[in-house]
Structure 1
Amino acid sequence: MTFLLYGAYGYTGELVAREAVARGLDPVLAGRDGDPLRELGRELRCSVREFPLQPPETVAESVRDIDVVLNCAGPFVATAEPLVEACLETGTDYLDVTGEFAVFASLAGRDAAATEADVTLLPGVGFDVVPTDCLAARLVDRLPEATAIALGFDADGDVSRGTARTAVRGLGEGTLVREDGALVRLPIGSRTRDIDFGRGTRSAVAVPWGDIVTAASTTGVENVTVYAAVPPRVQRLLRAARPLAPLL
């Protein structure tokens, strides 16, 4: 199996590359910036492939001999579509580690094209949204008459630069929840909840996590809110920043 890792020199991509090599895999490291790509390739003794995501012909030729592409280059709203188009053309399976709801919605709309091309399109194979989607499925299995799902997570540790850029971009657009099957936009920080994650109660704020698309698809429940634990001072900051939202 030939496995291409796009965005290999980014925060998440490098973690994946190192783990893949440690497990005996031989990924093709790929990305747009040749210098860090070649440096990582030399260190891990992996082949490298430098290519941008435009024009489409370049992307398709770059993955034509590849069995599986794993995209770790965010923001995925910018990188997923050109790679997906190339994979559909070349019969290459596509995976990524996005948590961006727009990407899940977009790729769900490509189901017929993927079926016709006999290609797997599988976004969100990392923390976003595997554990939360499994939890949603478990909840509805235990409570089959549920009409609403509230998911919460408390993530320790740092976030990648790409995740941070996506979050900042999203601040100007507010947050999203699913209500009666529709995505409803709310001011950032306007919906909160106290949640006990097993280490004491923490305050959490509604975020536009990918589960507002995926949990509905997995469970059939059309009311979904996702909460992320944040300190109260951050919630106050978010509310105070609302007047600045159009500028972000």
Structure 2
Amino acid sequence: MTDIVVYGAYGYTGALIVKEARKQGIQVVLSGRNEEKLKKLSQETGFSYSAVDLNNKEALHHLLQDAKVVIHCAGPFQQTAKAMVEACLATHTHYLDITGEYQVFELIHGYDEAAKNAGIMLLPGSGFDVVPSDCLAALLKARVPDAEKLQLAFAATGGGISRGTSKTMIEGVGEGQVYRSNHQLKTKPQGESIKDINYGPFKKLSAGISWGDVSSAYFSTGIPNIEVFTGSSKKQLKALKWAHRLRFFLKINWVKNFLKKQADKKPAGPSEEKRENSHTYLWGRAENSKGTYYEARLKTPNGYTLTSKATLLFASKILSGIFRPGFQTPSSAYGRDVILEIDGSQFEKAA
């Protein structure tokens, strides 16, 4: 029986997960659309492979029918998650993915009852997006149980982003910043929310972004007002404001396709050396209606390194029978301290 299928295995992050699985001695089956790339990765790792198009429902069901867990790595997930989740429900296969797209959390949350009936867990955001920030949100909720407002932020030292991340960002360019207000998702102009944040080792100007936590942290904590920021610069903030002015132009498909082709010309993602020398710092604040608040920070390894370890950690827990059927977030499934099972991660109270 196949225990774990990694779909999108030859993408930058998928390949990191596969190589980490080999390092840990965890058997996986490689899958995705491109047989040539799968064959190459199979030769490098020794894992078997099966080329399957997500649009081929019969082939996808055949791939998953003997699997216990799928780690879905083929984004943008707004375009791919639905087919994979529905295949998992049909084949009773547990679902993990590495999305940070709030739309995908909203989509998959709608399958909660179906997943419970199938006896499987649907856990989107099982990588850097959104394991550390979700665990930080859960810690803040525990400190301020009646919190009405949650702010989360992250910034990295060194590193960089992958082509896949770039393409996902291009999909959302010009859409504005999504945040949660009084339980509802709302949008404001990009570059409007700016905050100077102390991440611990450094302070950094940070800009509001449409991050998965506006949904995942909401499902985890129930806090009605949520906003997420990321470390930025004056130059990047200026670019965000220009993106808002040009938002209608940036929504045109040929413009997005052009930008994606430019992304394809860049390296697949940060090198191993850059990942090893990079860390991510998170900050969060929860506040109630009386003004009582608590701030905390979290340090983790590079986001891509964390993703490779967290997805396999969750898959291993599922294989051991440790899971909660239905839609889950990282903290609802495994508690806020699950992030501490990733070496190099630690919480601290913000001064």
For structure 1, list consecutive stretches of 5 or more residues without a partner in the other structure: none
Question: Could you list the per-position Cα deviations for residues 134-156 of structure 1 after superposition, in whole angstroms to 9, with x for gaps in the alignment?
Answer: 11111121122321001010034
**Cα contact 1:187–1:242 (8 A) shared by 2:** yes
Q: State the match for 2:90 in structure 1.
A: 89
Q: State the match for 1:207 in structure 2.
A: 209
Q: State the match for 2:74 in structure 1.
A: 73
* Bigger Cα displacement from structure 2, 156-165 vs 96-105: 156-165
Moved over 3 A (4+): none
Q: State the match for 1:45 in structure 2.
A: 46
Q: State the match for 1:175 in structure 2.
A: 177
Rounded to whole Å, the distance in 2 between the matches of 1:58 and 1:246 is: 39
TM-score (norm 1): 0.97
Coordinate RMSD, CA, aligned: 1.1
Rounded to whole Å, the distance in 2 between the matches of 1:57 and 1:247 is: 39
Rounded to whole Å, the distance in 1 between the matches of 2:237 and 2:203 is: 15
Q: State the match for 1:27 in structure 2.
A: 28
- SS of the residue aligned with 2:179? strand
- SS of the residue aligned with 1:74? coil
Aligned residue identity for 1:87? C
Q: State the match for 1:113 in structure 2.
A: 114
Question: Could you list the per-position Cα deviations for residues 119-178 of structure 1 after superposition, in whole angstroms to 9, with x for gaps in the alignment?
Answer: 111111101111111111111211223210010100341112111111112112111000
Aligned residue identity for 2:9? A
Aligned residue identity for 2:173? L
Q: State the match for 1:158 in structure 2.
A: 160
> What is the Cα deviation at residue 58 of structure 1?
2.2
Aligned residue identity for 1:7? G
Aligned residue identity for 1:244? L
**Cα contact 1:171–1:188 (8 A) shared by 2:** no
> What is the Cα deviation at residue 88 of structure 1?
0.4
- Say which structure, 1 or 2, has more relative contact order (CA 8 Å, 6+ apart): 2
- SS of the residue aligned with 1:241? helix
> What is the Cα deviation at residue 57 of structure 1?
2.1
Question: Could you list the per-position Cα deviations for residues 83-141 of structure 1 after superposition, in whole angstroms to 9, with x for gaps in the alignment?
Answer: 11111001111111111101111111100000111111111110111111111111121
Aligned length, in residue pairs: 248
**Cα contact 1:194–1:201 (8 A) shared by 2:** yes
Percentage identity across aligned positions?
A: 42
Q: State the match for 1:144 in structure 2.
A: 145
TM-score (norm 2): 0.69
Rounded to whole Å, the distance in 2 between the matches of 1:80 and 1:116 is: 19
Q: State the match for 1:217 in structure 2.
A: 219
Q: State the match for 1:126 in structure 2.
A: 127
> What is the Cα deviation at residue 59 of structure 1?
1.4
> What is the Cα deviation at residue 18 of structure 1?
0.2
Rounded to whole Å, the distance in 2 between the matches of 1:237 and 1:87 is: 40
Aligned residue identity for 1:59? L
Rounded to whole Å, the distance in 1 between the matches of 2:230 and 2:12 is: 21
For structure 2, list consecutive stretches of 5 or more residues without a partner in the other structure: 251-351
> What is the Cα deviation at residue 188 of structure 1?
1.2
> What is the Cα deviation at residue 52 of structure 1?
0.5
- SS of the residue aligned with 1:154? strand
Rounded to whole Å, the distance in 1 between the matches of 2:177 and 2:58 is: 36
Question: Could you list the per-position Cα deviations for residues 37-96 of structure 1 after superposition, in whole angstroms to 9, with x for gaps in the alignment?
Answer: 100101101100101111322211221111110011111111111111111001111111
Rounded to whole Å, the distance in 2 between the matches of 1:182 and 1:48 is: 42
Q: State the match for 2:197 in structure 1.
A: 195
**Cα contact 2:174–2:243 (8 A) shared by 1:** no
Rounded to whole Å, the distance in 1 between the matches of 2:204 and 2:108 is: 34
The answer to whether structure 1 residue 36 and structure 2 residue 37 are counterparts is yes
* Bigger Cα displacement from structure 2, 58-67 vs 222-231: 58-67
Aligned residue identity for 2:232? V
